[in-house]
Amino acid sequence: MSDLGLDPQNPFAAASVLPYGLPDFRAVRDEHFRPAFEAGMAQERAEIEAILADPAPPTAENTLDALERSGGLLRRTAAVFFTRHGADTTAALDAIEQEVAPLLAAHEDAIGLDPRLLGRLDALQRAADDGTVELAPDAAWLLHTRRRDATRAGARLAVDAQGRLRALNQEISVLEAEFGREVLAATNAGAVLVHDRAELAGLPADLVDAAARAAEQRGHGGAYLLDLRLPTQQPVVALLENRPLRERVHRASISRGSGVPSTPSTPSTPSTPSTAGADGTAAHPVGRDTRPTLLALVRARAERARLLGFPHHAAYVADEGTAGSVEAVEEMLALLTARAVDRVRVDATVRAAGLAADDPAATFEPWDWAYYAERDRSTQFDVDDSRLRPYLELDRVLHEGVFRAAGDLYGLTFERRTDLAGYHPDVRVYEVGSAEGRGVGLFLADLYARDSKRGGAWMDSLADQSHLLGTRPVVINTLNIARPRDGEPTLLTVDEVETLFHEFGHALHALLSDVRYPSQSGTNVPRDVVEFPSQVNEMWARDPDLLRAYAVHHLTGDPLPAPMADAVVSSQVHDAGFTTAEHLAAVHLDQAWHRLSPEEVPADPEEVARFEEQALDRAGVALGSVPPRYRSTYFTHVFAGGYAAAYYSYLWSEVLDADTAAWFRRNGGRTRANGERFRRTVLSRGGSADPRRIVRELQGRDPDIGPLLARLGLGGPGETGAELLP
């Protein structure tokens, strides 16, 4: 055993010797995690104690640098564990998470609530203020954020209040983990089983084939299984001609976690126990009512916010972000909501007319919108996903689209490293190089859906860039694209192409980081600006020149015909009212839940649906045909994913993104000069300075909401908006 109490044979006992510190996933087994977590927490506590016991006056080196160096073993262990748990979970990993989550919360509190640590940080600030100690700008900002975070964590509270805070933090960590497990189980169980191939009319052949294989793999040979994606809107609904099947899929989506009987579902898996029968019909699967967990979580967060001196959790979150206050968030939401709802009402008339032409007696419903919007897009722009998908083959989009844009802008190169392994056979590993031929880091792509992976798309870091630690970035992008048969091409929708570009924007933020401190690296920025670089990167998905490079027919090699390419570019704002309204509805739900006091949180799970209805009505987004992008019962972004009271950040960041995209276009588009400026002023700096200053520096002024209104078709020509940043 090592002096950490950790077996030296445990792969976490020492830093990986693989290139760029890539974890040795081949060596990691489930039984390695728990002892590595325990040893890692013990090691970090000892390291912090040594900092606090140092009799020398605090300096950047003996305090800030020392804090940033601490916790290496715990960082290594947590990075691998939570990557695997999110992307390839098992019953064993679920059990470890249940055990470890409260221990980690208690560990963080033991450090964050220690008054000696806050006292040392305060002393360093006084020394900096009186000139005794001189701090570099990044160190000064780190000191500011560490003191702020310690205060927000409760380090200045009385001892009895801290005791209650510790209990709440552990409770919240357990509930968040539980909610994530429940939603994954509910999403897997909600997959819709179809026995008659004719019902799938409208689906492309490769998606029908994928549904057949999904059914066969889960014990329903000869049938077809339509897996659910995390958002309310399911991509297949836009394509299915069979209206009753569209309704079944929609109802399966919105009923997840609600405690109502499940629609046809998948049979059980080790991590998703189910009572589904062989025909796919079932009573509500055991343990898939997320509402009690949701309510307990909202109540605990509300009590914690009050304990820390805030009226509610939303105020606690806004205080840390660039928004600064819930009033600033409300101002943006009010402007966008009014315009989006007006647009939706106009578009709803057009969509309903499409249904009326097919069935005059039918009433327009939520499961009709995507289908008739897609038909309208096909008519208006002479293009639709069924015609586009043969030109959007995954490997070509990745290499000739995503990677090429990064090369044009930042001089990056990408080489496949088949000698390096990820945590699952699906994971591809690429070495990223600079224009000068230097190694930048590793990029891991985990792109296909599987039952063991949570829904949605995200970016994670296995290692952060840091000059202090001498580490370079190892970054993961995770998506949920339907897997084709072996040897068959993976064909994407336009939305999936944009998601690929979006997540890679997060990866670029990490890969191009150039900071001293690991806690300031890459995406370690306030939640309401973390989406800014990723949304900027989406603009290249519809760049006409790049589109010609990556949109090539997978069989013939013919480029996307010019009229279709033009339509892809010009149809960007098509149905923008709907997409904005569904997003806003989810934002308003998030804000409504997190502006409650503990006493205002409903006690009865049956009250969840009524609370949602009232919240949407008050916000002016109670639109029958446009449900929220996420209902509360499967809103993992806010109840399990770190976006609690911060889901507004996508729209907040989109203001920054649209303004920056307009800057790129004014200055010549996808050039190295523009990329270098964006890299130098934004991407490379991570969280090493005030984000308000970073955002303003690119264009020398405050962001303007006008370009976003124009992009969404919600504003007049040349309209500008008020300054965004306080």
Distance (Å, whole) CA 102 – CA 98: 8
What is residue 431's three-state secondary structure?
strand
Distance (Å, whole) CA 142 – CA 133: 15
Q: Are 656 and 695 in contact (CB under 8 A)?
A: yes
By DSSP bridging, strand 224-226 and strand 413-416 are unpaired
Distance (Å, whole) CA 711 – CA 715: 8
Which amino acid does the sequence have at 644? A
For 22, 90, 412, 441, 469, the CA distances from 437, given in Å and listed in that order, are 20, 40, 9, 12, 22
Distance (Å, whole) CA 177 – CA 293: 10
- Count, residues in the chain: 726
Q: Please give the helix or strand (H or E) that residue 474 lies within, else none.
A: strand 474-481
Which residues are within 8 A (CB) of 382 and not within 5 positions of it... i.e. 6 or more apart?
Answer: 563, 564, 567
For 383, 625, 714, the CA distances from 365, given in Å and listed in that order, are 24, 6, 24
Distance (Å, whole) CA 610 – CA 607: 5
Partners of residue 446 on adjacent β-strands: 478
Which residues are within 8 A (CB) of 294 and not within 5 positions of it... i.e. 6 or more apart?
Answer: 179, 608, 632, 633, 639
**Burial status of residue 335 (CB atoms within 10 A of its CB: 0-12, 13-18, 19 or more):** middle
Distance (Å, whole) CA 646 – CA 526: 10
Structure tokens at 707: 């370009």
Q: Are 495 and 389 in contact (CB under 8 A)?
A: no
Q: Are 665 and 543 in contact (CB under 8 A)?
A: no
The catalytically annotated residue of 303, 503, 531, 538 is 503
Q: Please give the helix or strand (H or E) that residue 38 lies within, else none.
A: helix 33-53
Structure tokens at 692: 């308000």
Name the region of 519 (left: φ>0; alpha: ψ -120 to 50; beta: rest): alpha
Euclidean distance between the first and final Cα of the chain, in Å?
54
Which residues are within 8 A (CB) of 561 and not within 5 positions of it... i.e. 6 or more apart?
Answer: none
Q: Are 658 and 613 in contact (CB under 8 A)?
A: no
Q: Please give the helix or strand (H or E) that residue 608 lies within, else none.
A: helix 607-619
For 110, 146, 155, 597, the CA distances from 166, given in Å and listed in that order, are 9, 19, 11, 19
Q: Are 235 and 204 in contact (CB under 8 A)?
A: no
For 224, 255, 365, 374, 517, the CA distances from 371, given in Å and listed in that order, are 20, 20, 11, 5, 49
Q: Are 168 and 105 in contact (CB under 8 A)?
A: no
Residue where the block lists tokens 């509360």: 632
DSSP string, 315-331: HHHHHHSSS-SHHHHHH
Residue where the block lists tokens 């722009």: 381
By DSSP bridging, strand 192-194 and strand 474-481 are unpaired
By DSSP bridging, strand 474-481 and strand 439-448 are parallel
503 has catalytic annotation: yes
Distance (Å, whole) CA 218 – CA 46: 49
Which amino acid does the sequence have at 135? L
Which residue numbers are catalytic? Answer: 503
